[in-house]
Every structure is written in C-alpha cells, then in structure tokens.
C-alpha cells in the first residue's frame, strides 16, 4: 500500500511541474510598440474574400474566357443564341509603367444577343445574401442603342427573385457608371446576381460591383473590428511578394477602373482569383484603415519596376504639403493633411528567385540606394528598410553595410515547419510538440541575424516583418498554433530591446491566421485570441524575469499595474507558477482548451491565483495561457 502511494506521489510530481520565477521591478526596459505589427498583403484570401467587402469574383473580367463560350472566368452566360466575347475595349487601365504590363489584365465582357426577345446576359452564384441588407451596386456599361438592363438578386437557380432593379441605358461615347442599391426580400446562403436584357443588341460591361452598404472604405466592417481587437500597432502593406506586382499610381483611378494586377512570377499570391488582384484598396484606404485600428503604416515599394522618381512621388503623395505636385493630388482627393507615413520598405525578399529585380547584394544596394536617395529628398526623416535573403553575411557586408547611412532597418523573415498528423493520439501529441518547439527557429534566426549585422560595424535594426508557421494560410487554425504564436510573441517582447528588433510583423492576420472569415461573418482564431490577450502589454515597460529561459513569462509594468502573461506549453502536464510579487489581483483569466486539433479555439475562464505577503501562485493546465494583472500601488 505504501509503495502504491509513493508511485502516485511521483506521478503527480511529473504532471505538476513547478516554476519559481523572480520578477525584477527595478530592472525594466522600454520595448518597441511595433513588436505588435502585422502584414496586410494582397495575397490569397487576405483581401479578396477577406478584408474586402467586394462580393463579386473577377468583377473586372480579367484572364482568358471559358472554353467555346467566351464568358469571363467566374461568370456564367445566360441564353442559347448569344455571342460572348471576353476582350474588346477595356474600361480598366493602368497608369505608367508600360513595360510592366502583364497579359490578359485589361478586358471587358461583350454580350451580343442574336435573337430578339431572348433573355441574354451573365450571372454569378455563390453569394451570401442577407434579408433586408442594403447592397451598394455599380455597373459600368456601354451600349450602341437604347437598352433595358435588368439586375436581379435570386436563388441559386434564378427561380426565386429577391430584388430587381432596371437600368435604362443609352448610347454614349464613353462608359457609363450606374450606381444603385438593392435589398433582398429573403436571405439565401447560395444567392445569385443576374444581369440580363432581351433586345437584339450588344452590351459591353467594363466592371461590376456589389458590397454591403455598411462597408468601411470598401472593407468589411466586421473584419475591421476584429483587426482592431488584436491591437496592431503597425501594418505592412501592400506586400510581401505582392509589392513586386503593385502599381501605386493605379490607386489614383476610381476603384472600378483600376486595372487587375496579374501575379508576376508565380500564381501563389493570387491562387483563388485566377491569378489576379483587383486593386480594391488604395493608399488612402490603407491609411484610413491604419488610423481606424491604431496602427502605424509601413509601405513596401515596388523596387523592380518603379523608378526612384515614382517612389519619391509616392512619398510625396503621402507626406507632401498642398504646395507639392502629389500632395496637391492627395488634397484634391479629400485628404488635405499629410499622412506622414514614416516607415518604408525597399522591396521584399530581394535576392530570392521568386522576386523580380537584382539578385545579388551589390546590384540591390545600388538600386535601393537610388530609391532611398529620391525618397529621402522628399522626407528626410523616413525610416527605410532594406531586404535580402537574410541572415546572410554576404548580403550584410555588401548590401546592408553600404546602405547603412540611409537605411537603418534590415528585413528578416522566417516560417517554421512542423508535423501535421491529427488522426491518432500519438500524431496529435507529436504535431503539437513539434509545432510549439518550432519557436526556436525564430529565436535562432534573430540571434544569427544580430551577429551578422553586428559584424558589419554598423548600427542596424532588425525588422522581423514576416513570421508564421509554413503554409498556415492553407489550413484552419487551432490551439496548437495559438500556443506557438503566444510563445513567439513572448520571445519578441522579451528580446526586442536586447536584440534590437523594433519591428515585428505576423504574416498575416486577415483570413490567413488570426481572423477567420466566412461570408456569414468573422471571428478571432486561437492565434487571434492570443494577439488580443497579449496587447495588454502594450505601452508598458518589460521587466526582467529570472528563470524564464523558455520565455514562458512576460511581465510588464505601467501606471502601477503589473501585467503578467504565462504559457504552459506542455502537452499533457499542468504547471505551477510562483512569483516573488505581492499585490492586489485585478484580473486573472485562463485561456484553455481540451482540444488542440484543427478548428479548436481557447475558452476563457477565471484563473485561480493564490496571493500571500511574499508571492503569488497559480497552476495552469496543459497547453494553456493566462493573463494576470496586479495593482502594485502608485509608482
């Protein structure tokens, strides 16, 4: 009997690890608010089907038409004796950079009804319609004789009509933009929009648009609210890889007229939209979003195709007064005060095969230097960031060092790997432990980068502006990745100052990691829940915590309140934390879950904290995170 009891005690010790840590309230340091940064790149589902409120797919008719029919991709033709042609005169266009033009970007949809009285047109299904929701609609058209165009919101078969609008079109020398609203009389998860006419005539459609009326600058209000909830202090835009495809001046055109942007060297950036981005968000929209969510804007220029003069003009558009050429254009567009965009990246991942532009450090440094000179002439106080295949001693020596006098930030990216088998208990545990342990990759990359940059003898900062699990954007988030995200952020908060990493950007929150988006709505994933929790540390001073080699703890102090976040990353063991701190517990919240497999989320519940005159103690269950706030009195 005694032997059995002893075994039970030993087993309890194994599954109840204890961690005593010391928080030094006198050894504190500022850390950069931009550690809480995120990417907003026009890739995959982040904008199209994500942040953008636009509901119609391929609304500008880019790409090759359907086999033997001539209807633009994502659309369906209506009518038997109808000639569809995807081509002809285009309403969309690009400004400048003719050498950058990709194929099949600028098209319109021609519909020729060959039989009088026949119903002809195009339609698109798969639309989530809400009963009574007001939808803003636009149709850009040209006709050569009077024509009545009927617009309908229907069920998937077109049998039930929920709303109808009739447009009386007249011949004109140019395109006509028709704006109107429609509100369906019933909701439908599989709704359809139809554009039809029954006259023997030709209709040209240059662009179509449909979005909820309650959008924020063409963005979904619910997604903007969730982005604000995770507390981004910096947003990096428009890329990433997409920076090599972006033409900023197209944003000066009306949104329907901006030419689609074809993926340059790989379809990876736009796999869900026929390889095209439809330029739904421009510079003004991006800055408005940053201000709405409380983030500093960080803009990445297209170093491969934009000239230094064009990059300088973009800076002038953002920062110039009304007495400058592009500052005046901004003011005329309704934005009188300069945006004062401070952070700019000189391209993205240069030196890799998937990016156009210079492949070597010397060539990149020469070209980036020309852009930097032109941009700094407009706004001398800019903080510029260079890129390359870092950490790389050769690039540090021949690119970062020569640019150091005018470019102080160097970009670093890292995507961690991990097992992905969740169909057996052994597989779940292995996947969890491999994923959570992968944070060491970020740690090693950051330390290796610091050594490489320091070896140049120059004062250079690290901009760790892309980090995540590899291919996380192609699978549902889960508590496993939430624990990984929390551990990674704990490392960045603790080491931002020692390793000189002022900028850190998660890739990327919207539709690909932190915010789950469906046509019906959006919510924070397990990753997003961690970012929302950890924003409690913003604007505090980070305290030194001894016994914290695994970065299980972050402690920050602000206005006499000590905020502590804790991570128990063990798969199957609870863990006791104790701290040499006394104070009044203001908040104690546990984030836990029985499930760590895909589609799992954290559940919030009160955390039990034992407080004495000498210390505080708490126990976290396996794979859980907690937040504690203590009042220490006025300091």
Q: Which segment of 214-228, 319-333, 414-428 scores lowest on mean pLDDT?
A: 414-428
How would residue 634 be classed by pLDDT, with cut points 50, 70 and 90? low
**Angle between the N-to-C axes of helices 479-495 and 526-534, in degrees from 0 to 180, rounded to the nearest 10:** 30
Domain termination residue (choose one: 212, 232, 259): 212
**Token pair belonging to 218:** 């063409």
525 and 380 assigned to the same domain: yes
In a domain, 65, yes or no: no
Domains held by the chain: number: 3
| Separation of CA 321 from chain center | 30
Q: Which helix (H) or strand (E) element contains residue 316? A: helix 308-319
Percent of the chain surpassing pLDDT 70: 96
Whether residue 591 is predicted with pLDDT greater than 50 in this model: the reply is yes
23 plus 40 within the same structural domain: no
Among residues 539, 563, 598, the one where a domain terminates is 539
Torsion region of 251: left, alpha or beta (phi above 0 gives left; psi -120 to 50 gives alpha): alpha
Query: Does residue 419 lie in a domain region?
Result: yes
Question: Rounded CA gap, 291 and 297, in Å?
Answer: 9
For 484-513, how does the pLDDT look when each residue is reduced to its tens digit (9 = 90+)? 999 999 999 999 999 999 999 999 999 999
Q: How many CB atoms lie within 10 A of CB 443?
A: 17
Q: Does 223 share its domain with 108?
A: no
Buried b (16+ CB within 10 A) or exposed e, 126-152: ebebbeeeebbbbbbbbbeeebebbbb
Which of 51, 35, 52 is closest to 509 using CA atoms?
51
329 with 454, same domain: the answer is: yes
> Would 512 be classed as within a structural domain?
yes
- Can you tell me the mean pLDDT for 185-192? 98
One domain for residues 565 and 615: yes
Q: Do residue 309 and residue 389 come from a single domain?
A: yes
CA dist 410 and 386 (Å) reads 5
The pLDDT of 17-30, averaged and rounded, is: 87
Q: Structural domain of residue 156, as residue ranges?
A: 76-212
165 vs 152: CA distance, rounded Å: 6
d(Cα 480, Cα 596) in Å, to the nearest integer? 5
Residue 353 lies in a domain: yes
Residue 13 has pLDDT above 50, yes or no: no
Last residue of a domain, one of 539, 566, 591: 539
Are the beta carbons of 578 and 20 closer than 8 angstroms? Answer: yes
Those residues whose C-beta lies under 8 Å from the C-beta of residue 423, and which sit 6 or more positions away, are: none
Backbone angles phi, psi at 100, to 5 degrees: -90, -10
CA-closest candidate to residue 632, choices 610, 616, 608: 616
39-90 pLDDT tens trace: 999 999 999 999 999 999 999 999 999 988 999 999 999 999 999 999 889 9
Amino acid 9: pLDDT:
30
Q: CA of 454: how far to CAs of 30, 89, 400, 447, 499, in Å?
A: 21, 56, 11, 11, 10
Residue 469 within any structural domain of the chain = yes
CATH code of the domain containing 163: 2.60.120.260
CA dist., res. 131 & res. 134, Å (int): 9
Q: Is residue 71 part of a domain?
A: no
**What is the CB neighbour count within 10 angstroms for residue 71?**
21
Residue 23 has pLDDT above 70, yes or no: yes
Q: Are residues 488 and 587 in the same domain?
A: no
Q: State whether 351 and 471 are in the same domain.
A: yes
In this structure, the answer to whether residues 587 and 475 fall within a common structural domain is no
Tell me whether residue 67 is in a domain.
Answer: no
CB of 578 closer than 8 Å to CB of 629: no
CB under 8 A, 24+ apart: contacts of 539-543 = 539/33, 541/28, 541/29, 541/30, 541/31, 542/28, 542/29, 542/30, 542/31, 542/493, 542/494, 542/496, 542/497, 543/23, 543/24, 543/25, 543/27, 543/28
- How many CB atoms neighbour CB 570 within 10 A? 19
For CA atoms 241, 247, 252, 258, give the dihedral sign: negative
Residues 54 and 260 sit within 8 Å (Cβ to Cβ) = no
pTM of the model: 0.95
pLDDT grade for 11, boundaries at 50, 70 and 90:
very low
* Shared-domain flag, residues 365 and 286: yes
Tens digits of residue pLDDT in 436-450: 999 999 999 999 999
- Reported as a pLDDT band with limits 50, 70 and 90, residue 269 is confident
Is the domain of 41 the same as that of 126? no
- Mean pLDDT, the chain, rounded, equals 93
pLDDT of 8 reads: 29
More confident residue, 284 or 87: 284
DSSP label of 615? -
DSSP 83-110: EEEEESS-S-B--S-GGGPPTT-S-EEE
- How long is the chain? 635
Residue 166 sits at the vertex; the CA angle it makes with 162 and 171, to the nearest 5 degrees, is: 155
Whether residues 494 and 583 fall in one domain? no
pLDDT tens, 148-171?
999 999 999 999 999 999 999 999
Question: 334: Cβ–Cβ under 8 A, 6 or more apart, which residues?
Answer: none
CATH number at residue 559: 2.60.40.1180
In this structure, of 94-103, 425-434, 477-486, the range with the lowest mean pLDDT score is 94-103
Q: Is residue 69 part of a domain?
A: no
Helix (H) or strand (E) holding 432: helix 425-437
């Amino acid at each position: 009997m005694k032997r059995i009891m002893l075994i039970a005690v030993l087993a309890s010790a194994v599954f109840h690890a204890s961690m005593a840590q010391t928080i030094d309230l006198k050894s504190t340091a500022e850390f950069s608010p931009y550690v809480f940064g995120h990417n907003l790149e026009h890739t995959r589902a982040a904008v199209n089907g994500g942040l953008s409120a636009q509901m119609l797919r391929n609304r500008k008719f880019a790409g090759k038409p359907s086999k033997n029919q001539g209807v633009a991709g994502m659309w369906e033709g209506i009518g038997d004796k109808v000639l569809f042609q995807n081509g002809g005169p285009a309403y969309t266009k690009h400004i400048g950079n003719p050498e950058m033009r990709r194929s099949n970007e600028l098209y319109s949809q021609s519909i020729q009804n060959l039989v009088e009285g026949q119903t002809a047109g195009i339609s698109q299904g798969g639309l989530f319609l809400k009963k009574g929701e007001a939808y803003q609609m636009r149709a850009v058209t040209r006709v050569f004789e009077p024509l009545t165009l009927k617009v309908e919101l229907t069920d998937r078969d077109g049998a039930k009509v929920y709303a109808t609008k009739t447009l009386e079109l007249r011949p004109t020398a140019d395109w006509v933009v028709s704006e109107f609203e429609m509100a369906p009389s019933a909701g439908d998860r599989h709704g359809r929009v139809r554009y039809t006419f029954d006259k023997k005539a030709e209709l040209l459609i240059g662009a179509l648009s449909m979005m909820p009326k309650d959008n924020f600058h063409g963005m979904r209000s619910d997604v903007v609210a969730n982005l604000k909830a995770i507390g981004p202090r910096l947003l990096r835009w428009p890329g990433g890889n997409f920076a090599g495809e972006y033409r900023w001046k197209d944003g000066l055109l009306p949104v329907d007229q901006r030419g689609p942007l074809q993926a340059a060297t790989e379809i990876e950036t736009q796999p869900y939209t026929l390889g095209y981005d439809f330029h739904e968000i421009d510079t003004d929209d991006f800055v408005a979003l940053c201000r709405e969510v409380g983030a500093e804007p960080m803009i990445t220029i297209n170093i491969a195709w934009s000239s230094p003069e064009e990059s300088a003009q973009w800076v002038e558009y953002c920062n110039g007064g009304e007495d400058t050429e592009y500052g005046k254009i901004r003011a005329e567009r309704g934005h009188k005060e300069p945006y004062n965009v401070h952070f700019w990246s000189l391209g993205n991942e240069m030196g890799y095969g998937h990016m156009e532009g210079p492949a070597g450090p010397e060539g990149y440094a020469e070209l980036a230097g020309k852009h930097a000179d032109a941009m700094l002439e407009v706004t001398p106080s800019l903080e510029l960031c260079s890129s390359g295949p870092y950490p790389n001693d050769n690039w540090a020596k021949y690119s970062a060092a020569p640019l150091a006098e005018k470019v102080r930030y160097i970009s670093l990216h890292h995507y961690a790997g991990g097992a992905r088998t969740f169909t057996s208990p052994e597989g779940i545990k292995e996947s969890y432990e491999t994923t959570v342990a992968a944070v060491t990759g970020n740690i090693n990359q950051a330390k290796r980068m610091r050594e490489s940059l320091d070896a140049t003898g120059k004062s250079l900062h690290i901009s760790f502006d892309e980090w995540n699990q590899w291919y996380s954007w192609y699978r549902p988030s889960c508590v496993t990745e939430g624990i990984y995200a929390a551990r990674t952020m704990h490392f960045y908060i603790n080491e931002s100052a020692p390793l000189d990493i002022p900028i850190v950007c998660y890739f990327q929150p919207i539709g690909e990691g932190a915010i789950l988006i469906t046509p019906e709505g959006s919510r924070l994933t397990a990753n997003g829940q961690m970012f929302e929790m950890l924003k409690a540390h913003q604007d505090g001073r980070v305290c030194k915590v001894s016994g914290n080699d695994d970065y299980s703890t972050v402690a920050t102090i602000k206005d006499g309140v000590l905020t502590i976040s804790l991570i128990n990353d063990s798969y199957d063991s609870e863990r006791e934390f104790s701290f040499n701190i006394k104070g009044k517990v203001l908040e104690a919240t546990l984030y836990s879950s029985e499930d760590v497999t895909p589609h799992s989320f954290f559940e919030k519940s009160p955390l039990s904290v034992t407080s004495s005159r000498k210390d505080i103690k708490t126990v976290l269950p396996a794979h859980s995170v907690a937040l504690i706030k203590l009042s220490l009195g006025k300091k």
